[in-house]
Structures are given as structure tokens and as C-alpha cells.
Amino acid sequence: MNNKILKPLAIGSLVLCNSVAAADCRDVSQIIANQLEYNYVIENTATTLAQLMRSQAFLSGCERQNSSEDIAEFMTLELNKIANDKHLSVVYDPQWVNELKTYHSSAQTKAFSDSRAMETPTDNYGFKKVEMLDGNIGYLDIRAFSDSHLGGETLENAMKFLQHSDGIIIDLRNNFGGSPFMVTSLASYFFDLDTVHLSTFEQRANGVLTQTQDWTSPYVPGPRFKDTPLYILTSSNSASAAESFSYAMKNLTRATIVGEVTAGAAHGRSAEIVNNNYILTLPSTRPVDPRTKDNWERKGVKPHIETSSDNALNVAYAEVLNTLINIKSSNLHLHEWVYPLVKAKSNQYQPNQSDINKIIGTYGERKIVLKNDKLYYQYLDEPGYEIELLDKETIIFKAFSEARLHAIYKDNKVIAVKMLSFGEEPREFQRTM
């Protein structure tokens, strides 16, 4: 008896589901097709996408889906077989629709604008860290590109802090993007008064394509770094505005990119309400580099020097020092002093017991000993200084950086250690035991 009741119920549910799917597919597809046709940033692609969504084959495939979520996923996958666009998607999310409707009301928009202007910079507007590395190399870690009217003063203060740097490293490995205006503000510090064409932004709305050119500013508050060697760190997470800065500076041959290929998210998108249940994330803008006539969408920005994101800082740090050495910088002796240490770290050497055993021994009145799994350098009976192997030959003191040791090998055995002190002649100590 129960089976006889349940069977028609199941059939009725299936018919209802298919009916809802068919209605959703017809209505949603028509609305999205129109939005894409007149607003997707690449016109030829927009026409093809609209034709796809109006085709019977597409509608038939859509109507076979079992839920609203499946319909959204189906549409997204089919659209991107043509567009291959990370920013193009159809989303089933009634709550998001309600939130957007609330935001679009004039009172909410004004309230949002007012709160944005009074925003408390709990994240320091994306500026995570600024410091001077050994060798007079400036380091700036930016986690997000905030709007210039919010983070501009923080940028200015950071650049003033770095104004005496011999080289600069900008870390974008954990930067997911942000405002293009901050990209322009930052880039402007690395050129002279003559403005430079960074990018052209294309936007399509109601079938009309408009172009806006983005140029560096002839004025920046604070110092300029037009001749300072510049290195940019990237990872696979670096996206959007972080990629924009990296791509422009690379193609202008103004910076060396070190790290991983970036995320490949170039197009700018907006969230467009389709109906009470669906949203279209619509790429309506894109940057076009005036030199490549292209951008980094789906390709990412390819570094000059590819290495893991974890090791990118060490590699870039060594490279900028080596660059300064090769051009005979005014701080040549300092750069020559720091370079071997940084280069050793960039090689990611892991000390092994065999290498440790080779340097343990007595060198006249000096000795290197192992105590509690730690290496120490000791002179006579004085307290020892803890040391660390950066590679088989380079040995540093953990407590200070003004001196270090260099192991001298012969036939794969350490026969002496050389004491190197900044600004002094090296001293060599022969192994006695």
C-alpha cells in the first residue's frame, strides 16, 4: 500500500523538478544572454556566449539538471568552454541577491560610502611590513592595494622610510588585489617626471566600448626611485591588482619578477542580479597593456626568475645585491659583504651530520665544538658563540653579523677556517686537531 502511495509522489516530484528546471533555464538563460551580449568586455566573445545560451542544445542540457545549484554550475562550465574567464560565473544564491538589492537602495549606498570614508585601518590599508635589510636593501610587504584616498598617506610614509635604499624588494606573494588607483600611485614612484603609459582599461556597457588610459603621475609626495633596482616577489596567490603592477613593471622593463606564475585574474567584474535566485558575475572591464596588446587573464604573470614562493625573498635579495655589485655601487664593500650570506640562504642548504663533523675541531687557540646538538665557536676558555652553517663553507654567528667564518677545504676535509670581519683583513687559522 505504501509503495503505491510513494511511487506517484516520487513521479510527481520528478515532474515538478523538471518543470522548475525548464522554467529556470528558459528565463535565466534569456536574461543572462542579454547581459552578456551587451556588457561582456570582449565583444566577439560576448556574441558567441549569447548565441550559446539561446541555443536549443544548451537549453536541453540545462533542463536535465536536478537542482538550481546544478543549473548554475552547468551554465558556468558551458560559458567558460568558450570564454575561459575566471571571473565569469552564474551563482545560485538568494541571500546574496537580497543583500545586493539592499545595497543598491540609495540610503544603503550612501551609508556604505560614509562608513568607507571613516574606515578604521585595522589592516594598515594593506601595508604589512617595511624594513631595511642588511646591505641597505629596502623591503615592502603589501597584502592588498587599498584605495589611494585611504592608503595614500601610508604609502607615502613607507616610501620615505625607504628613500636611502640601494635596492628595493616589493613582496606581493600574499596580495590578492585591490584598487587600480593604488597600483598607479605605487608605480609612479619608480619613474621620473615624464609620465609613463601603464595600461588601458576597456569597459563595455550597453554595447558601447570605452577606453581609459592609466598613466603614472608627474608628481609623487616624497622621494622617487627611478634608477633604484626593483624586484617584485610573486606567488600563485598573487592576483588582480598585484598582477597588474607586476605585469606593467615587467613589460616596462622596470622590475625583475621573482617567484611563481601568478593567479591569472585580469578581468574586472560586477555582480549582476538575474532574478530573485541567481547572480551573474560579469566581466565588463579588462586591462590591455599598450606594449603586449594583451593581459594576464588565465595565463598569469611569468617571473623572470622562477622559484618557490617560500624561497623567493632569498633569491631576489641575492639577485639585487649581485646587481649592485656588478654595477660597482657606492656601497660596494657592504654589498660584497652581505651577498655571500644571502646567496647561501637562497640555495636552501640543509646541514647534515657529515658536514658538521668536518668542521668540528681545534684551530690553534680556537675550536669548534658540538654541545647539546648546537655548534659553538670558542677562543681559549672564553664562553663560546653559537654558530650556524649556511652551507658547507659559510658559517655565521647567531649573535652578530659583523664577522663570520669561512671553512677552507682540501681533499674534502676542512684544513683551516678564515675569520672574516667587515672592513678588516681576513685572518686564517690552520687546523691543529
* Confidence band for 295, pLDDT divided at 50, 70 and 90: very high
Q: Is residue 418 a contact partner of residue 426, using CB atoms and an 8 Å limit?
A: yes
DSSP-based three-state secondary structure for 197: strand
* Confidence band for 1, pLDDT divided at 50, 70 and 90: very low
Question: What's the grid cell of residue 271?
Answer: 555582480
Say how many CA atoms lie within 13 Å of 99 toward its Cβ: 8
* Confidence band for 10, pLDDT divided at 50, 70 and 90: very low
* Type of residue numbered 31: I
Residue pointed to by grid coordinates 536549443: 56
Q: What is the DSSP letter of 161?
A: H
Please state which of the ranges 72-81, 118-127, 137-146 shows the lowest mean pLDDT.
118-127
Residue 53: how many other CB atoms lie within 10 Å:
25
11 or 396, greater pLDDT: 396
Across the range 203-208, mean pLDDT stands at: 96
Q: Which of 284, 117, 93, 103 is nearest to 201 (CA)?
A: 284
Residue 328: how many other CB atoms lie within 10 Å:
8
pLDDT in tens, 42-51: 999 999 999 9
The reported pLDDT for the residue numbered 109 is 57
* Type of residue numbered 22: A
Q: Where are the alpha helices (DSSP H) in 105-179?
A: 106-117, 148-161
What's the Rg (C-alpha) of the chain?
A: 30
Residue pointed to by grid coordinates 652553517: 389
Q: Is residue 304 a contact partner of residue 257, using CB atoms and an 8 Å limit?
A: yes
Q: Which of 77, 68, 80, 69 is nearest to 22 (CA)?
A: 68
DSSP-based three-state secondary structure for 205: strand
Residue 127: how many other CB atoms lie within 10 Å:
19
Residue 386: pLDDT over 60: yes
Across the range 7-20, mean pLDDT stands at: 44
Mean pLDDT of the chain: 91
The reported pLDDT for the residue numbered 105 is 75
Q: Is residue 246 a contact partner of residue 301, using CB atoms and an 8 Å limit?
A: yes
* Type of residue numbered 399: A
CA distance 239 to 143: 11
pLDDT in tens, 354-365: 999 999 999 999
Q: What percent of the chain has pLDDT over 90?
A: 84
Residue count of the chain, please give it: 433
The reported pLDDT for the residue numbered 110 is 57
